[in-house]
Structure formats: C-alpha cells, structure tokens
Chains A and B, each alone.
Chain A
Amino acid sequence: TQLLEQSPQFLSIQEGENLTVYCNSSVFSSLQWYRQEPGEGPVLLVTVVTGGEVKKLKRLTFQFGDARKDSSLHITAAQPGDTGLYLCAGGDNYGQNFVFGPGTRLSVLP
C-alpha cells in the first residue's frame, strides 16, 4: 500500500497570512483534497486528475505536479473559518492503493 506524506503536520498562523501545505507520494491517477472540522466528516474541496492542473476555489488554489507525484494547497489571506484538518487522498488507475494522508492541522488565529 502506498503512503501519502503531508507537510507540515501542524500550522498555526495569524488571520490574513498566506500559507501552503503539501502532499507527496508515488504517482497518482487522481488526487482529492478534503477539509475536516472537529467532530465532523471530511468535506471534499477539489479533485485533480491532470499533471500540471491548477484549480481555484475562492481563496484556495490547488496544484497537481506535472509528474502527478505531488500536490499543493495554497490559501491566500487565511481566515479563522479556514481552521481545520486538511487531508489529501489518492490512488492509482486500477482502484488499488487508495489512501488518505495523515493531514495538516491548520489553526488560523484572529
């Protein structure tokens, strides 16, 4: 089973700052990003499938590496509502090895 690495593990920033979190592993066919708030289930933010793909969701920018071995999530002007656990998840073309990463726990202080 392949593993996903996410960094940093924890991140605490002030409101208004920018940040980037990372997800790395072997080659994926597609990759998903989720945000999970305490006591709730993860909520899908985006799915990326094409190497080099960039998707934007308001202040969130998601990038999939050209070789599909890594992905990043950039948040511009973070707000307290962005606080949560950010998870990446991915697998190969054959439905094997789909796993979730350990997550980055983000805290945005007012």
Chain B
Amino acid sequence: EAQVTQNPRYLITVTGKKLTVTCSQNMNHEYMSWYRQDPGLGLRQIYYSMNVEVTDKGDVPEGYKVSRKEKRNFPLILESPSPNQTSLYFCASSLSGLRGAPYYGYTFGSGTRLTVV
C-alpha cells in the first residue's frame, strides 16, 4: 500500500530533551515536506526537500532540523524542544515539487501529536 509512515503517533517529552520524528514513504516520491497544524493557524510548512540532500526552510523553521540522506526518509529533529512546539505534526510527500510547493497533491502521514512540558 502506498503510504507515508510517521512515528511515533503520540509523544510527550520534557523541555530540552532532543527528539526525532521519523517519516518514510514507499512511493519513490522526490518531494517531501513537514507541516505543523495548530488551532486557528492551520497547516504551516516547517521544512521541505525537493530531492536527496536538497532541503530548505519553509514558513516556520525555527527550532527544527531535517535531513534527507535517502529518498524515502525525511526525519524531523527537535534539538531542544520547547512548549511552543507542542503541536500536531504531519509529514507529506509528492511525486515532485518546486521550492515550497508540490507539483502534485500531497500524500500525508497520519500525524504525530507532540506535547512538550
């Protein structure tokens, strides 16, 4: 089944403790992206990657890091999480894209609900 897999689905952590949210897609998509979704603010792009070793900032990159060492994986790293990073996070992929936009529609993962206390 074609899908984007995120782990974990739920995570509660403490301020300052480094964490990684994994994302993997099995569709051979070039373009991958991370979003956070907050009430009243909608979906906002954190980082995107147009291909292996090509990543760039989205609209809200502060406090996050990403890497794209292989096509299928695009982990999101929070080096020192803070309470304002409590949110619902989504990884998404598309066949191809340019800068912050997918050329084709996204396939989204099921989300990771992160709480930082």
Q: Residues of A at under 8 Å CB distance from B?
A: 1, 32, 34, 39-44, 47, 87, 89, 91-92, 94-98, 100-103
Contacts and interface: CB of A to CB of B under 8 A. Distances in A.
Interface string B64-107: 00000000000000000000000000101000011111101111
10 contacts: A34-B106, A41-B111, A42-B90, A89-B43, A91-B101, A96-B100, A98-B99, A98-B102, A100-B42, A100-B43
A100 B101 CA distance: 11
Interface string B16-35: 00000000000000000001
A41 B109 contact: yes
Interface of A, secondary structure class, is loop
B105 A44 contact: yes
Interface of B, secondary structure class, is strand
Given A44-B106, A98-B101, 8 more contacts: A1-B59, A34-B105, A87-B42, A87-B43, A95-B98, A95-B101, A100-B42, A103-B42
Contacts of A103: 42
